[in-house]
Chains A and B, each alone.
Chain A
Amino acid sequence: MNKDYSIWKLLSQGFKQHQGWTPAWRNPEIKSSYDVVIIGAGGHGLATAYYLAKEHGVKNIAVLEKGYLGGGNTARNTTIVRSNYLWDEAALLYEHSLKLWEGLSEDINFNVMFSQRGVFNLGHTLQDMRDIERRVNANNLNGIDALALSAQEVKDHIPMINIGKNTRFPIMGASFQPRAGVARHDAVAWGFARAASNYGVDIIENCEVQGMDIENAAIKGLQTSLGYIKTSKVGCVTAGHSSVMAKAAGIRMPIESHPLQAFVSESLKPVLDTVVMSNAVHGYISQSDKGELVIGAGIDHYTSYAQRGSPHIIEHTAAAIIELFPMFSRVRLNRQWGGIVDTTPDACPIISKTKVKGLYFNCGWGTGGFKATPGSGNVFAHTIAHDEPHPLNAAFSLDRFHTGHLIDEHGAAGVAH
């Protein structure tokens, strides 16, 4: 790959008023046939295309996007990256991803601003603390960094957090993963798009898939808003719209699409140098490099494709954050938005072959897909290239809802994202 972004390039462009930069990725004409088509140009889809080209030598790949690149959930998440999951299957998958994050900027020659500032998962009850002990030990056994901290140790790291006993749910301690952190969400989509494009991947925006051409239980092609595309392998990475895609292929999915809201405050001077999450009061918060407090919480409970939720969810989230950080009570909110997340019954993704030959699904990431972006693309590329799952995603098959081998991360890791 042409690694042409560097400090020297930046300096030399500086002397030319930055007039010599070229677009980061190509804008090609769509072809009538591809070896592999990825539906959805979000982080996961672009990462899949990148690893297909880089690690599996697939030459003729298209990524189709009905809107614009990285305009869905990649642009709407709260950018937290961590791997402190309880069960082996999930922990190893997310840890694989975290390891890829650690070398990602160099690998794709694009600064994704991955900042390993650590993540605190707060405990507010005795049961929370027991669960934290268990999860920290499970993480350590899987080679994942994790510590259990007391309330005072949390306070030592985060001076303005309220560990007083005068709150509804006093903080009793936390688990801490030092290698966790945040990354710049848009840069991840742009970086993977540029790296994939350099390998010859065609990224086609404003191209909606309208139907699937399936014969004898094998995929033959796709009907799109830009015409028919012949292909024998399709990877579907469409997050909240996965049920719509599955319906076109005649497959049933255990997925419900829910709005997940988040918001940012006005920009402040640096005040919070880590990520704090709490399941009991339900909110999570970090501070972006622009200075905004980035805040999120749980899903709206009804299903929706409308990319908006209800105001009372925002109210609950703000209340939770203010309970943790009373000093933020006078901070004003700047922007609020919603994305459509594809939730599964066991809060774990589906990275799987289907009963249609050549049709693969990577979905069900629910509220926590961003952290998995490189790992998800990496194992999904393997699944598509070999028509067999990678050892790390074998457990995440669609079959598990029929065999009963669910990976119950819901309560277990106290999964909040």
Chain B
Amino acid sequence: MFVIKCPHCNEPREEEEFHYEGEAFIARPSNPEAEADEAWGDYLFMKKNPKGWHWEMWGHAAGCRKFFVVKRNTANHAIDGAWTLQGARAAYETEQVAA
């Protein structure tokens, strides 16, 4: 059990109020018809599933019902932050550039 602060409601709530929606920032190929099977299969099924920091989507299922992005450590459930989808992309890209 952990506490998540929904960036839309801006209030910390228990995890049970939320629904996990999987890895964030999986880009859909812009022209699926042109993709090879391997790239399409990768898009559909392959996951980073890291042990450590993970950018993931959550939905505030029993609250505002909006999606947002959380950076959470899968090894110890620590949460670094939560962003709206737009805000998250900027934070994620900044991190990628720094790395």
Contact at A401–B77, with CB atoms within 8 Å? no
Instruction: Kindly specify which of B5-13, B50-58, B84-92 makes contact with the partner chain.
Output: B50-58
Contact at B46–A401, with CB atoms within 8 Å? yes
**Counting CB contacts under 8 A, is B80 at the interface?**
no
Chain B residues whose C-beta falls within 8 Å of the C-beta of A255 in the assembled complex: 47, 49
**Counting CB contacts under 8 A, is A345 at the interface?**
yes
User: How many angstroms between the C-alpha atoms of A159 and B76 in the bound complex?
Assistant: 44
Contact at A304–B74, with CB atoms within 8 Å? yes
Known A310-B16, A402-B37, A402-B38; contact A243-B45, beta-carbon cutoff 8 A = no
Contact at B47–A302, with CB atoms within 8 Å? no
Contact at B16–A302, with CB atoms within 8 Å? no
A93-144 interface with B by 8 A CB criterion:
none
User: How many angstroms between the C-alpha atoms of A247 and B52 in the bound complex?
Assistant: 13
Contact at B20–A243, with CB atoms within 8 Å? no
Known A253-B47, A253-B49; contact A303-B54, beta-carbon cutoff 8 A = yes
Q: Mark A1-39, 1 if CB is under 8 A from B, else 0.
A: 000000000000000000000000000000000000000
Select which of A254, A306, A310, A312 is within 8 A of B47 by beta carbon: A254
Instruction: Report the minimal beta-carbon distance from A214 to chain B, rounded to whole angstroms.
Output: 19
Known A401-B44, A402-B38, A402-B41; contact A243-B49, beta-carbon cutoff 8 A = yes
Task: Please report the total number of A residues contacting B with Cβ < 8 Å.
Answer: 24
Contact at A257–B15, with CB atoms within 8 Å? no
Instruction: Report the minimal beta-carbon distance from B46 to chain A, rounded to whole angstroms.
Output: 4
Q: Mark B27-53, 1 if CB is under 8 A from A, else 0.
A: 000000000011011101111111100
Select which of B38, B42, B74 is within 8 A of A306 by beta carbon: B74
Contact at B56–A302, with CB atoms within 8 Å? yes
Contact at A305–B75, with CB atoms within 8 Å? yes
Q: Residue on B with the closest CB to A305?
A: B51
Contact at B47–A244, with CB atoms within 8 Å? no
Contact at A305–B37, with CB atoms within 8 Å? no
Chain A residues whose C-beta falls within 8 Å of the C-beta of B19 in the assembled complex: 301
**Counting CB contacts under 8 A, is A282 at the interface?**
no
Select which of A303, A310, A311, A401 is within 8 A of B49 by beta carbon: A303
**Counting CB contacts under 8 A, is B99 at the interface?**
no
**Counting CB contacts under 8 A, is A167 at the interface?**
no
Contact at B77–A243, with CB atoms within 8 Å? no
Instruction: Report the minimal beta-carbon distance from A313 to chain B, rounded to whole angstroms.
Output: 9
**Counting CB contacts under 8 A, is B1 at the interface?**
yes
Chain A residues whose C-beta falls within 8 Å of the C-beta of B50 in the assembled complex: 243-244, 247
